[in-house]
Amino acid sequence: MGSGAFGVVYLAEDNQLGREVALKVMPRGDPEVADREGKMLAALSHPNVVTIFDHGQADDCRWLVLEILRGPTLAQWCEGKSKREILARYLEAGAGLDAAHRRGLVHQDFKPTNVRLDEDGHAVVIDFGLARNAESLDGLTPGSGSPEAVGGTLLYMARERLLGKLGSPASDQFAFCVALWEALSGERPFGEQSDVDARVLELSRAPRGGQGIGRRVRAVLERGMAPLPGERWPTMTVLLEALEEAVRPAPRWPWVAGGVCVGLLGLAMGSRLVTQPGLVLPSVVLPEPEPDPEPVAAITEIRDALEARDHNRARQALDNARPVLRRAGRLREFVDEAQMVAERFEDDGLTHEALDVWMMVFRAAEDLDDETLEDTADEKIKELAGKL
């Protein structure tokens, strides 16, 4: 039925139940990991995930027995469909991906051709041949791979995977958002660059196009495609909730009614004051607002971590500080702190980590519309990428 670098799919017959099935045969790898992941896949029961009837190992292969879906792929189905229809099907596919994550599974190759429609027209995520459970991925050595070694499709791979790191729910989320952006706008958000090094740099920039995507949906997808995993949505569950909220029409009449009431009240009060000559209104002294302690605490945590030379703590503190300082209108201070962290990482030989932080500086520079800072960050990114 099909083949690729990571397995072959055969049309087969279950001669006990008398039904046609798809038989996917893959390299076995670690037999204990293969057995554990086979059981987890078989236990994954969700209407938006392909049904896995059986699994096992033989010789140097492992195999999955799957239901056959003969409907079109999501890529084929989306042609000519409205944005509302496309969003509805992608929300279903996202629910399937979320169900896998809740079971501890990472798909690792989500793309529009790995989703098919069932006979009722609902989206079903397929091709879990590359799926791994998070525990086994944690046991592998990150950074030792390559896009080819870790598997996946280049145009939907997150930046960390292009750098040879292993898949995670955050990288699945990135692929989902790239696919939906492409379906809604007809454009690939990061072009079609096939050179890995050039693509890593491209993923540090804002996504392309998307003018036809609604503002609220666009904001949700942009966060899901952030270059750093920690800047994306916490989980697929939260991402899907944000998407559903973004497509929900905002109520109009309650606001209009409220505006009318406030306007009438203002007119009534104004007319009363006008009809009382000589009325002196008492002066009102508003109390000074309490300073927000959160930004100060966020900056203090970064500096304490740097002083203790605790790199992991410094990076986590920086991730936590960005939304806090942005909300407080103090993004420039975040840039100052991030540059200090990046310099410390570089001095300590942590090139990957320094590159990640300069990516954060670049994104902040875009938000600040500071072209000089963008150029500085871009040069540092290129310099550090050349050292990897």
Q: Which of 35, 59, 60, 109 is catalytic?
A: 109
- The helix (run of H) or strand (run of E) holding residue 138 is helix 134-138
Query: Residue 369 catalytic?
Result: no
Nearest to 359 by CA among 166, 205, 175: 205
**How many other CB atoms sit within 10 Å of the CB of residue 373?**
18
- Residue 127, judged by CB atoms within 10 A of its CB (0-12, 13-18, 19+), counts as buried
Rounded (10°) angle between helices 311-327 and 351-368: 10
CA atoms within 13 A on the CB side of 75: 9
**171 close to 109: Cβ distance less than 8 angstroms:** no
Gyration radius of the chain over CA positions: 26
At 258, give phi and psi (nearest 5°): -60, -40
CA atoms of 190 and 245, how far apart (whole Å): 26
Instruction: Say how far apart CA 388 and CA 383 lie, in whole Å.
Output: 9
DSSP readout, 294-350?
HHHHHHHHHHHHHHTT-HHHHHHHHHHHHHHHHHTT-HHHHHHHHHHHHHHHHHTT-
Measured in whole angstroms, how far is the alpha carbon of residue 28 from the centre of its chain?
Answer: 29
Residues with a catalytic annotation lie at 109
